C-alpha cells in the first residue's frame, strides 16, 4: 500500500491516521506496513516503506500507536523538528526519542508525521497532533527508551524496512 499517494488527506510523505483508517488498514494489528514484534520483555515494530522519508514517518506512527489510540488524536497543532545524529541508525533513535521526549514533557500526542528533508546525519520534519486530554485520550504505556538493540534499517527491492525495539 502506498500511503501518501492514494489516501485521502495524505500529502507527500505524511502519515496521517485518518487517511490510513479511510483506507481500512488500521485494524487492531495496525496497517499492513506495520508489524508488532513478538518480544517477550519489551515491544518492537517492523515498518516497511517505499522510501526513507516514509520509513521514518511510519516508524514514528508505529511508535505512537503503541502509546495511544491514534484515531483519537486530532491534528490541530503543528511543530517543526530538526534532528542530527552520527549515522542513520542513530538518526532513527534520536528522531523517535525526541518525539517521545516531547510527548512526555509537553504532554502532547502526535498523529501525523512528515519528513521534509532527510540525509544520512540529519532530518527535518513536521509533526501534527494535540495536547493530551485525559477525557479523550488513553495512554496505554510509556516508552522508557528507543533502543539500539537489534535495530535494523535495510533497503531491498520493495523499498525500506526498519526494525525498532522499545524498552517498556
Partner 1 sequence: MEYDIRKLTDYLWELPQTGGMRVPARIYATEKMLPQILSDNAPQQAANVAHLPGIVKASLAMPDIHWGYGFPIGGVAAFDLDQGVISPGGVGYDINCGVRLVASKLSREQVAPRMRELVNQLFRDVPTGVGAAGALSVPVQELRRVAEEGARWAFEHGFGSESDLEHIEENGCIAGADPAQVSQRAWERGREQLGTLGSGNHFLEVGYVTEIYDEEATQALGLALNQITVIIHCGSRGFGYQICSDYLDVMDRAVKKYGIALPDRQLACAPVNSSEGQNYLGAMRCAINYAFANRQVIAHHTRKAFEKVLGMSAADTGLRTIYEVAHNIAKFETHTVDGSEMRLCVHRKGATRAFAPRCEEVPFEYQAVGQPVLIPGDMGRYSYVLTGTAKAMEETFGSTCHGAGRAMSRVKAKKLAAGRNIIREMEAKGIIIRGQSRRTVDEEISEAYKDVSNVVDACALAGISRKVAQLKPLGCIKG
Interface with partner 1 (CB under 8 A): 36-41, 43, 97, 101, 103-105, 107, 132, 134, 137-142, 144-145, 147-149, 167-168
Residue with cell 525495539: 165
Nearer to partner 1, 8 or 41 (CB): 41
Nearer to partner 1, 19 or 68 (CB): 68
Return the C-alpha cell found at 17. Answer: 491516521
Nearest-approach distance from CB 142 to partner 1, in angstroms: 5
Nearest-approach distance from CB 48 to partner 1, in angstroms: 18
Q: Quick count: other Cβ atoms within 10 Å of Cβ 14? A: 25
Nearest-approach distance from CB 88 to partner 1, in angstroms: 16
Nearer to partner 1, 104 or 116 (CB): 104
> 28: closest CA among 140, 152, 109, 144?
140
Continuous H helices in the chain: 17-22, 52-67, 88-106
Give the separation between CA 47 and CA 65, rounded to whole angstroms. 12
Nearest-approach distance from CB 28 to partner 1, in angstroms: 8
Nearer to partner 1, 102 or 161 (CB): 102
Give the separation between CA 40 and CA 37, rounded to whole angstroms. 9
Give the separation between CA 84 and CA 43, rounded to whole angstroms. 25
Nearest-approach distance from CB 30 to partner 1, in angstroms: 11
Residue with cell 516503506: 49
Nearer to partner 1, 144 or 155 (CB): 144
Amino acid at each position: 500500500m502506498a500511503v501518501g499517494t492514494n489516501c485521502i488527506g495524505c500529502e507527500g510523505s505524511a502519515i496521517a491516521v485518518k487517511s490510513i483508517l479511510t483506507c481500512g488498514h488500521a485494524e487492531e494489528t495496525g496497517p499492513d506496513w506495520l508489524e508488532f514484534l513478538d518480544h517477550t520483555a519489551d515491544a518492537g515494530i517492523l515498518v516497511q516503506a517505499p522510501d526513507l522519508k516514509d520509513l521514518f514517518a511510519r516508524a514514528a506512527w508505529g511508535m505512537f500507536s503503541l502509546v495511544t489510540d491514534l484515531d483519537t488524536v486530532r491534528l490541530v497543532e503543528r511543530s517543526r523538528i530538526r534532528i542530527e545524529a552520527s549515522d542513520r541508525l542513530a538518526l532513527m533513535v534520536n528522531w523517535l526519542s525526541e518525539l517521545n521526549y516531547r510527548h512526555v514533557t509537553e504532554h502532547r500526542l502526535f498523529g501525523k508525521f512528515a519528513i521534509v528533508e532527510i540525509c544520512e546525519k540529519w532530518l527535518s520534519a513536521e509533526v501534527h497532533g494535540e495536547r493530551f486530554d485525559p477525557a479523550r485520550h488513553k495512554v496505554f504505556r510509556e516508552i522508557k527508551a528507543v533502543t539500539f538493540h537489534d535495530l535494523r534499517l535495510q533497503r531491498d527491492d520493495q523499498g525500506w524496512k526498519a526494525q525498532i525495539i522499545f524498552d517498556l
